[in-house]
Amino acid sequence: MSEIVFYNTRTREKAKFEPIEPGRVGIYTCGPTVYGPSHIGNLRSQLVPDLLKRFLRSEGFEVTHVVNITDVGHLVSDSDEGEDKMELAAQRTGQTAAEIAEKYTALWHEDRRMLNCQPLEENPKATDHIQEQIDLAKTLEERGYLYQLEDGVYFDISKFPRYTELAKLDLEGQGAVQRIEKVEGKRHAADFGIWKFAAEGVKRLQEWDSPWGRGFPGWHLECSAMSSKYLGERIDIHTGGIDLATVHHTNELAQSECAFGVEPWVNVWIHNEFLDFGGEKMSKSVGNVKELKDLVERGIDPLAFRYFVLQAHYRQQQTYNEEAMEAAARGYQRLVKAAIALRDVEAAGDPDVQAPYRKRFRDALADDLNAPQALAVTWEVARSDALAPADQRDLLLAFDEVLGLDLANAVVAEEVGELDPRIDALVAERETARKNKDFATSDRIRDALAAEGITILDSPEGPRWSRG
């Protein structure tokens, strides 16, 4: 078998994967900041490590996957400027920060369930690990990496020469100005907050006593503290969206290697690229969020979104629009139909016949998680006239243990044809005309759609349409 290779963001090259402890792999993934719902762009950063975890388990590794919940400390600037996102959400809604965190953590778990993500071994919350964060900060202070200002305790990046290595930062260049903010008294603009003090006269919902004064931990501190608690002071693989590399992961790496005295703290950094929404950034703070439930409300199976993500390599930007999502939904349904047609096959498959397909599927994923190539092998099996049905069944089910599309249990969605806003609007207009007994308009719309090959089925639940 070919060796497993992953692309490491820190080295900018592929390399053979070798776990720290033979047979065991620890994965840490940055989880959600639970001040609002996760959008579908956020969910790509959860689907990539789930595919990684499934693949490594198929290779015989014992995998421990840790994903944190950020419920304190994430400021609106993603570094040390502005207010805490949880505090702002509490002010906006009138709920407590704890109530908001509980609500959106539950929604995030529901999204993961609908996407068929495997259960997590650990899912720690930042607010449950304040002491661990204080202890880590004390270690950094004892080793001379911290200094104190009026508004908090900061990490001195000049004490860590490898600070720019992960994201290949040019801290003196123009781009650096966009990633950091000005705080009076900082030794370097990129020095980052380890512990922030509560503002004078302001009563926060989330604040704790510390050796430096009452306040709250910086966003970056939590991941180092919690990953070391559950995975040890060195990690096999750290994953997250590429946007985290320049600030959050850079700061995590600096404080961890300094506190633990290790290099590298993480063996392999795996970052997934963005979903491209036509040049517009999808953001909870902007309010243009598209959630998984929005797809469900349109009749799209959540696993069709998982299928959509599998169509592109995780290091490639992937264009998301309605047409691409609808095409993925149709493709997923075709694959489900192929799997359903094989469920009643009782004959035994032939391992020798299946072996070449299994190898090609496995080798695709062993080459830096090449999901599109693995999906292509899956479709080759589903469409093959040369393979016996029993071999098709065995291969599809084996591949799906890694792809996570639930082909063993999925059902075919109701035949509603394509999703098309223009046709939907015409069908709705026709339904309104029928209710108003304007049958001339109703018939005119029906005939116009029929000329396009659109058939309308009037049912007790409302009209549905299909093409052809």
Instruction: State the chain's mean pLDDT as an integer.
Output: 91
* Neighbouring residues of 226: CB distance < 8 A, sequence distance ≥ 6: 66, 68, 124, 126, 129, 132
Pair 52, 178 in one domain: yes
Give the CATH number, domain containing residue 345. 1.10.730.10
Q: Is residue 453 a part of any domain in this protein?
A: yes
Which of 213, 242, 276 is at the close of a domain? 276
Q: What is the percent of the chain where pLDDT is above 90?
A: 74
Pair 461, 359 in one domain: no
Pair 138, 26 in one domain: yes
Reported as a pLDDT band with limits 50, 70 and 90, residue 417 is very low
Q: Is residue 412 a part of any domain in this protein?
A: no
Give the pLDDT confidence score for residue 347 in this predicted structure.
95
Reported as a pLDDT band with limits 50, 70 and 90, residue 457 is confident
Pair 218, 361 in one domain: no
Number of domains in the chain: 3
Pair 101, 131 in one domain: yes
d(CA 57, CA 54): 5
Q: Is residue 227 a part of any domain in this protein?
A: yes
Instruction: Give the gyration radius of the chain's Cα atoms.
Output: 26
Pair 425, 397 in one domain: no
Q: Is residue 374 a part of any domain in this protein?
A: yes
pLDDT in tens, 65-79: 999 999 999 988 766
pLDDT reading at 216 higher than 90 = yes
Q: Is residue 338 a part of any domain in this protein?
A: yes
Give the pLDDT confidence score for residue 174 in this predicted structure.
44
> 3-class SS at 288?
coil
C-beta separation of 65 from 27 below 8 A: yes
Pair 263, 150 in one domain: yes
Give the pLDDT confidence score for residue 418 in this predicted structure.
54
pLDDT reading at 292 higher than 70 = yes
Give the pLDDT confidence score for residue 209 in this predicted structure.
96
Lowest mean pLDDT, pick from 105-114, 129-138, 146-155, 170-179: 170-179
Our CA angle for 143, 147, 153, nearest 5°, is: 110
Q: Is residue 328 a part of any domain in this protein?
A: yes
H helices present in 30-96, as ranges: 40-58, 85-93
Give residue 319's domain range: 298-403
| 288 vs 115, residue with greater confidence | 115
pLDDT in tens, 91-108: 899 999 999 999 999 999
pLDDT in tens, 220-233: 999 999 999 999 99
Pair 93, 216 in one domain: yes
Pair 206, 353 in one domain: no
